[in-house]
Structure 1
């Protein structure tokens, strides 16, 4: 049997052609998940969160609705952006947006697929397995000259029962406990300048001690905005010591970029993968937590 790298869950990655061919499927639910992070200097915060709704209202894939991650799907009582709500709460919110049993969900974003993989990972955490990410997102769809619309879409409410998968998200205590553990590989999905500490965007510069760097940008082709090949992605993770026998903890700034790394590790057959939800938004500000630079 071949041991060549491959994506083991191809149903969770759909092409623009596949989506174009299935747009009229009545069981399909398509969502624009775009969020923008606006980086502003001297504000005391790493970025300003801006919904992609305005761009959605200007033009979107025909038949697609909009999901506002921060405003509609996150625990806004948390001091950190994008915090995962309880499984039951999230299921209720998604059901209100039209996601339920018997639906096939396709998620897409603009400029960066990580917004789609974030919601894909959240769906997986509550036991919904009929979701996919559009490879290349809206950027590829638009570059190919495919049709768009500006009419706002709302799906009728559905019924979605949470069947939680414990362990897909993790907190700071478990991340701290894993430092120095040879059976765990902790991976930072942020850009190299943030990993090294050269860029102090999140407060104290640096990274979780002992963590390695697989920037989310290294996993996507910058021109086509599509995922890199299984061989390239597998080699990238292998190069930092991410062995399948290890537990993998992924983090970034706010638990978003880390989900694209997590999505691809899942595709490659890794089984013990978790995302540190609050990530550097929490870690860099907590003086009791160790940090490493260089």
Structure 2
């Protein structure tokens, strides 16, 4: 039997979105964030909200979500860390995401920003969210309508129903090292995985982890997700099988959610994202690291 995406309702295409923009229950969000890589600053990158680009043109009726500024724990030592479920639900509700709404998430340049917020919503028990396949780039390339007026949805009520275990910390990553029942996947680029780039501090990877870059799971021509059979083959090739506990990481828990999103689509159930990822691991000299 060929592979298939088992939750097609969580991936919508541009034609569907265009046809459903007037649905009063629909909430569409631009989730774009940019990482501006810098050297000599002691930090791996500068986080820049995509709000300025949103104001130059966005999908009609869509609002903006600022991942780091509005939806992450600003007191954490690393960027993009999850808030407690009730607090996160409150912040999503303030943006208009409620128990009776249907949410579509999109981003520019990479779907990883949309999959990150999708995974966050799933972690607090909200299951009526989808990612726009191809994101803003495909929408704009097709010549579809844009607008510059900013949208703000009315506040809603959102009940948190936490799913513990969708995000993990360094202890679970350590415990998985050498465990044949687990598979740790690095979603960063190959040079970072091999230890040829010290962006996050000590170069290298979590020992025993395998590499499947998030960028290798989308079509570079239009940023759509690859067909399910191709995605399954790529996970099979690195030994990520459904019976294993799959732990995914990257630099800051963003790219890893793209891998996790597609594994979920393929029917994998035992999945978790290491929230702090290499932003924490590479800086902690007590943790082992591997290169080559």
TM-score, normalised via structure 2 length: 1.00
Distance 1:282 1:224 in 2: 32
Q: CA offsets per residue over residues 109-164 of structure 1, 9 Å max, x none?
A: 00010000000000000000000000000000000000000000000000001000
Residue in 2 that maps onto 1:240: 238
Q: CA offsets per residue over residues 41-91 of structure 1, 9 Å max, x none?
A: 111110000000000011000000000000000000001000000000000
Distance 1:89 1:229 in 2: 36
Residue in 1 that maps onto 2:248: 250
Residue in 2 that maps onto 1:260: 258
Distance 2:283 2:115 in 1: 26
SS in 2 for 1:38: strand
Distance 2:270 2:97 in 1: 27
**Mapping for residues 1-294 of structure 1, pairs under 5 Å:** 3-294=1-292
Compute the displacement of 1:101 (Å). Answer: 1.1
**Which stretches of structure 1, 4 residues or longer, exceed 2 Å deviation after superposition?**
none
TM-score, normalised via structure 1 length: 0.99
Q: CA offsets per residue over residues 30-49 of structure 1, 9 Å max, x none?
A: 00000000001111110000
Across the aligned residues of Structure 1 and Structure 2, the Cα RMSD in angstroms comes to: 0.4
Count, aligned residues: 292
SS in 1 for 2:24: coil
Distance 1:217 1:196 in 2: 16
Distance 1:271 1:9 in 2: 13
SS in 2 for 1:204: coil
Compute the displacement of 1:231 (Å). Answer: 0.6
Compute the displacement of 1:24 (Å). Answer: 0.2
Q: 5+ residue gaps in structure 2?
A: none
Distance 2:216 2:154 in 1: 38
Q: 5+ residue gaps in structure 1?
A: none
Distance 2:269 2:31 in 1: 26
